[in-house]
A and B are shown apart, each in its own frame.
Chain A
């Protein structure tokens, strides 16, 4: 899975983001990224190659983190 993070109106990779925020904030972001990864993996068949899935994590939303994914190969079940 490829993760992109929207932070203060701009998009970053996790490497770029790690130099912009503090360790505790990075901990929260990484924990959330792991949670999203787990949640999406549960929707796919076991051992499926999920590298084509792109996830945008919006950190700017006032109501908490929001993740939006694109699944061009239709690997994830809708439920």
Chain B
């Protein structure tokens, strides 16, 4: 049994070699015909042969070039297809990793807020009067979105699921503008409280009424990692619950860690937008 190597067929030399053989055979046939008819008819077979030879050489060169191009094209196509497959595989891995990391980020953020709450001795307060909230800045809507909230008081821990918080209102708006904001001067009766919220924070009577927590103390810190990313806010019903220097000192390292996490989350969001398609 003869072993046939398919690589021979795929070689760029096969096709032109076959063509050359064919043309040589034609020329040889032409010469035989010439020898046979020269004595009887006055036809210049020499010139015809010369033309055939030139044509054959031209065709052979042309076909050779075509063949080279074809092989090169196949090589390039194979290379591109291979690269595309690799990119697709990598993207699928990145995508599933992003989903997992999104969940990991959530767990990490929740843990950090809980730890900060414990560090600030939230648990020692029988009245459960404090809460911590992480607001993330959402570029597409130019507003804040609550990423996580922690409080021992279940009512204060509730999140208005889809609420978008304006960047220029409330204590978060102040921190967004100044970097740090501390206010413990809200221990006021209802009328004065509402007026204070309107004058200081730009919040209307309806907005104040809709608040789930009537806080008398705000400590808010802007989080950043290369860019501004959001706000870490601590509120308390008790206006003298915390001292400004101490709470700022305790919030800062947590805010830095949160900065890394939210920055990473923004990276996932950007990836999702870059890879997305919008079709009609």
**Interface, chain A (partner B; CB < 8 A):** 14-15, 18-19, 22-28, 30-40, 62-71, 76, 78
Which chain A residues lie closer than 8 Å to B161 at the CB level? 15, 18-19, 26
Contact A30 B162 (CB under 8 A): yes
Binds A, one of B190-198, B247-255, B265-273: B265-273
Contact A67 B265 (CB under 8 A): no
Contact A71 B140 (CB under 8 A): no
Contact A66 B140 (CB under 8 A): no
Q: How far is the CA of A76 from the CA of B105 in the complex (A)?
A: 37
Q: How far is the CA of A34 from the CA of B143 in the complex (A)?
A: 11
A16 to chain B, nearest CB (A): 11
Binary contact readout B252-280 vs A (1 if CB under 8 angstroms, 0 otherwise): 00000000000001001101110111111
Instruction: Please list 8 pairs of residues, one from A and one from B, whose beta carbons are closer than 8 Å in the complex, sorted by A's number.
Output: A18-B161, A25-B103, A31-B273, A34-B140, A35-B273, A65-B272, A69-B278, A76-B280
Which chain A residues lie closer than 8 Å to B138 at the CB level? 27, 30-31, 34
**Interface, chain B (partner A; CB < 8 A):** 88, 91-92, 95, 99, 102-103, 105-106, 109, 136, 138-141, 145-148, 159, 161-162, 265, 268-269, 271-273, 275-280
Contact B162 A18 (CB under 8 A): yes
A4 to chain B, nearest CB (A): 14
Which chain B residues lie closer than 8 Å to A24 at the CB level? 102-103, 105-106, 109, 147, 265
Contact A64 B141 (CB under 8 A): no
Which chain A residues lie closer than 8 Å to B162 at the CB level? 14-15, 18, 26, 30
Q: How far is the CA of A66 from the CA of B99 in the complex (A)?
A: 16
Picked from B141, B148, B268, the residue with its CB within 8 Å of the CB of A23 is B148
A74 to chain B, nearest CB (A): 10
Contact B146 A62 (CB under 8 A): no
